[in-house]
Structure 1
Amino acid sequence: MWKIKPPITYALEAKYRPHLETLVPTDPMSLFNLKRGSPEEEFPTLKYNYTCMASILTPKLYTRQFNRATQSGVIFDDVIRPGLEERGELHGPMTVGCVAGDAQSYILFCDFFDRVIEAYQNHKMSKLQESDFNHDNLKGGDDFDRDYALSCEVSVVRGVDDFGFPTHCSRGERRQLFMLAKKALDQLAEELPGKLYSRAELSHDKEDKGVTVGAPSLSQLRNGVARDWPDSRAVWVSKDGTLVVWVNIDDHLRLVTTRDDANIAEAFQCICVNILKLEALYKKLRHPFIWKQQLGWVVSSPADVGTGLRASVRVKLQHLPRYKRLEDVLKRLRLRMDNTDCSEVYNISNAQTIGLDEVGFTQLVVDGVKLLIRMEKRLEGEENIDDLVPLQK
């Protein structure tokens, strides 16, 4: 039995799935000599596991994936290992609990990944994903009340074609990814001056680069993202401080723009302009970013597929966090609210990355933050805000 409601089968899904299955390697597992028991003997213990992976995985589903392996050697146990190492918390935010070892994982294990994406991101996989980096289509974002909106950040992750993802790639692949990034970013620097710093340079050089890269997290160590740290990890920083590009830190590439004036429209424009330039440069180098029609931009975590975009605003909220219907409000706005290291300051960001395009998700954050600030102002005056609760989007 499914632990959650099984996804509905759609005509489009039935149409594209057989095509995906034809792309699966015939029998790569036969090349291995793994000393394993039967699927029943190898099925993991999921008791007290609160990840999305655990809510999806059943013995029947596990058995279907058990003898499959991608061409680069990713098996299903590699996919679910993050959720077995870190089981999540009963009353904490749900974590996705799985990761793709390479882009082919999403095809080979589509029965599993499609269900995870549907459950975690509340998205029907029958829908086609679109992309829109025309920043002129964004409305607002430059007019937040500065007494409440303190700062903002927009980031986007990308996976590079023909390479394994961080949990699975070899040292050689990681070094090739580093060299590709260096070539592309050197060309980007012709228009936006900047410099690429290795992780070692950031650690030992005391000069302020405007960015801090700490030691790998316990999660990165457990799931293999931090293997061979800090080999081929680097950060590119623009001279004017508007853009930072993380190379091989948590994914192949992550572009980040942070602003102290909470002007998310400007931050989004910076991301749009430069991700399109990098996309063109990587195509020129014959290693384009990975795009699939049903998944959008493909990256290692199913929590980031689609757009790979996170738009967030740090907002000062004193009264709203105590509002009894806040969880319902955030769900309807398709936003998440996270604590920060400052009391009464919260990070408001998009809860999903698939289902809308980049402009659409950023617009959700812009409109949502404005509404939350409006609610906060009313509560300051001890007024009722039930009439401001939005309809489900």
Structure 2
Amino acid sequence: MWKREKMWMIKPPTEHPMESRYRPVLESLIPRDPMSRFYLKRGSPKDEFPNLDRNYTLMGRILNLHMYTRQFSRATESGVIFDDIIRPGLEDPGLPTGPKSVGCLAGDAQSYILFCDFFDRIIESYHGYKVTSDAVQQSDFNYDNLKGGDDFDEVYVLSCEVSVGRAVDDFCFPTHCSRGERRQLLTLAKTALEQMSEGPTGKLYSIDELSHESDDRGLVLDSPPSSLMKIGVARDWPDARALWLSKDGSLAIWINMDEHLKLISFRKDANLQEAFKTVCIHLIKLEALYKKLRHPFIWKPHLGWVVSSPAEVGTGLKASVTVKLLHLAENKRLDDILDRLRIQMEETGCPGIYKVSNLQTIGFNEVELTQLVVDGVKLLIQMEKRLENNRGIEDLVPLKKTERTAVRL
């Protein structure tokens, strides 16, 4: 008798047909509460609100107590809380002058969804691009669509670089990933790079190998870059970090640094067209291989290629050209010109030498962004030549900012 009652007690309750039908729908509407899985000894949002005095990042400018309170009790499924998101900007508050910094990093892909009211404002402020649910980010890796970039005036242009970052699905981003995740990412990268093409086209170096001099590369890395230390990405250094270098030196692929993967093509001959082509060819191959390994690159229709930094969502692409601009750098209209061309100029530490690149990475596809840099650099050089001869540049200034219409579903 006892056994029979006991068996009855552990039987599932009877379910009615309608309840069985709608249960999955109802359960999907119940938000998960990962914060209930652990207890953080924190005060109220007001008690925990960070000191943003002399914080010159976009995070420091946008964040207020009301917004902080709304985000305070949220956490992604992997345990990323809002304080993790803004910590990079608190560790490195930026400078009152110079390139603007977003001051925040996503801990995983879900961060962009859970903390969307914060991230969308950061993206809008940094890129000048309104994030909407019905807009779709476009991609174009057809390097033949790029016009120019191989014909810069060598008197003014010194070098160029194209870089693209990618994040791998099912893994936390570098600020939040565990040692185990980082090692799995390195294993995936090794597998993909070995399959990328037939024959030995490149070599993978661990960070330990890079800490020693070698004749087959022009790089020595014996300690983590300060930029990675400031944003909390240098944890467990140098565990599971690596660099792949092509045999011809045209491409470098960093693994587990500021992003899961970062492809960089640097050229001393300033052939931006060739650098863009190199990145596109290898990126397409790697994307196919990671899909085959069932860990595709992260893509969200309204954000494009998602990476840890909101400064690089959309395409993850930065195209830059190092240019000699002695006269234009002193012109009072320079900031307005750069804004209209949608490009930025950064000092290199050498007088008169600047790095010109795209600021925006979302709202344009890869070819369009690189084209902005190509056309912008050519126009800046034309202006520089005018100023060298004491001539005006007003007729060369673009009438308005380059327009871009969002693609909608």
Q: Identify whether the pair has TM-score above 0.5, normalized to the shorter chain.
A: yes
CA contact (8 A) 1:25 1:70 kept: no
Q: Aligned match of 2:359 in 351, 355, 363?
A: 351
* Partner in structure 1 of residue 391 of structure 2: 383
Q: Show the 5 A alignment for 1:69-84.
A: 69-84=75-90
Please identify, of 217-226 and 265-274, the stretch whose mean Cα deviation from structure 2 is larger. Answer: 217-226
CA contact (8 A) 1:157 1:254 kept: yes
* Partner in structure 2 of residue 146 of structure 1: 154
* Partner in structure 2 of residue 315 of structure 1: 323
CA contact (8 A) 1:153 1:257 kept: yes
- Residues 301-324 of structure 1: CA deviation (Å, up to 9, x unaligned): 001111000001111111111111
Please identify, of 215-224 and 244-253, the stretch whose mean Cα deviation from structure 2 is larger. Answer: 215-224
* Partner in structure 2 of residue 58 of structure 1: 64
Gaps of 5+ in 2: 1-27, 403-409
Per the TM alignment, residue 188 of structure 1 is displaced from its structure 2 partner at its CA by: 1.5
- Whole-Å separation in 2 of the counterparts to 1:235 and 1:93: 27
Per the TM alignment, residue 83 of structure 1 is displaced from its structure 2 partner at its CA by: 1.0
Q: Aligned match of 2:53 in 42, 47, 51?
A: 47
Q: Say whether residues 1:285 and 2:289 are aligned partners.
A: no
Per the TM alignment, residue 189 of structure 1 is displaced from its structure 2 partner at its CA by: 4.4
- Whole-Å separation in 2 of the counterparts to 1:191 and 1:366: 34
Sort the Cα spacing of 1:98 and 1:104 in 2 relative to 1 into closer, same or farther, 3 A. same
SS in 2 for 1:352: coil
Aligned length: 372
SS in 2 for 1:315: strand
* Partner in structure 1 of residue 15 of structure 2: none
TM-score, scaled relative to structure 1: 0.92
CA contact (8 A) 2:228 2:257 kept: no
Per the TM alignment, residue 176 of structure 1 is displaced from its structure 2 partner at its CA by: 0.3
- Residues 130-174 of structure 1: CA deviation (Å, up to 9, x unaligned): 111011111111111111111111010000000010110000000
What's the Cα RMSD here?
A: 1.5
CA contact (8 A) 2:109 2:172 kept: yes
Letter in 1 for 2:264: V
Q: Aligned match of 2:282 in 274, 278, 291?
A: 274
SS in 1 for 2:318: strand
CA contact (8 A) 1:28 1:70 kept: yes
Q: Aligned match of 1:329 in 337, 359, 366?
A: 337
* Partner in structure 1 of residue 22 of structure 2: none
Q: Say whether residues 1:252 and 2:265 are aligned partners.
A: no
Sort the Cα spacing of 1:206 and 1:122 in 2 relative to 1 into closer, same or farther, 3 A. same
Q: Aligned match of 1:265 in 273, 283, 286?
A: 273
Larger Rg: 2
SS in 1 for 2:211: helix
Q: Say whether residues 1:340 and 2:344 are aligned partners.
A: no
* Partner in structure 1 of residue 94 of structure 2: 88
Q: Say whether residues 1:172 and 2:180 are aligned partners.
A: yes
- Whole-Å separation in 2 of the counterparts to 1:189 and 1:68: 44
- Whole-Å separation in 1 of the counterparts to 2:197 and 2:333: 48
* Partner in structure 2 of residue 162 of structure 1: 170
Q: Aligned match of 2:224 in 216, 223, 228?
A: 216
Sort the Cα spacing of 1:259 and 1:222 in 2 relative to 1 into closer, same or farther, 3 A. closer
* Partner in structure 2 of residue 5 of structure 1: none
Q: Aligned match of 2:137 in 129, 135, 150?
A: 129
- Whole-Å separation in 1 of the counterparts to 2:156 and 2:127: 28
- Whole-Å separation in 1 of the counterparts to 2:390 and 2:77: 61
Sort the Cα spacing of 1:213 and 1:23 in 2 relative to 1 into closer, same or farther, 3 A. farther
- Whole-Å separation in 2 of the counterparts to 1:237 and 1:185: 11
Please identify, of 159-168 and 120-129, the stretch whose mean Cα deviation from structure 2 is larger. Answer: 120-129
Q: Aligned match of 2:73 in 67, 70, 90?
A: 67
* Partner in structure 2 of residue 110 of structure 1: 116
Letter in 2 for 1:241: G
- Whole-Å separation in 2 of the counterparts to 1:298 and 1:367: 27
CA contact (8 A) 1:140 1:265 kept: yes
CA contact (8 A) 2:99 2:346 kept: no
CA contact (8 A) 1:167 1:225 kept: yes
- Whole-Å separation in 2 of the counterparts to 1:76 and 1:321: 39
SS in 1 for 2:273: helix
- Residues 73-116 of structure 1: CA deviation (Å, up to 9, x unaligned): 10000000111111112233321100000111001111110111
Letter in 1 for 2:126: Y
Q: Aligned match of 2:32 in 2, 20, 26?
A: 26
CA contact (8 A) 1:66 1:76 kept: yes
CA contact (8 A) 1:244 1:255 kept: yes
Percent of counterpart pairs with the same letter? Answer: 65
* Partner in structure 2 of residue 4 of structure 1: none
- Residues 182-221 of structure 1: CA deviation (Å, up to 9, x unaligned): 0001112426710100010111243341344463233422
- Whole-Å separation in 2 of the counterparts to 1:379 and 1:292: 45
- Residues 113-132 of structure 1: CA deviation (Å, up to 9, x unaligned): 01110011111102321111
CA contact (8 A) 1:159 1:251 kept: yes
Per the TM alignment, residue 341 of structure 1 is displaced from its structure 2 partner at its CA by: 3.3
CA contact (8 A) 1:235 1:244 kept: yes
Give runs of ≥4 in structure 1 deviating > 6 Å.
Answer: none
- Whole-Å separation in 1 of the counterparts to 2:29 and 2:374: 40
Sort the Cα spacing of 1:163 and 1:86 in 2 relative to 1 into closer, same or farther, 3 A. same
- Whole-Å separation in 2 of the counterparts to 1:338 and 1:369: 13
- Whole-Å separation in 2 of the counterparts to 1:131 and 1:43: 39
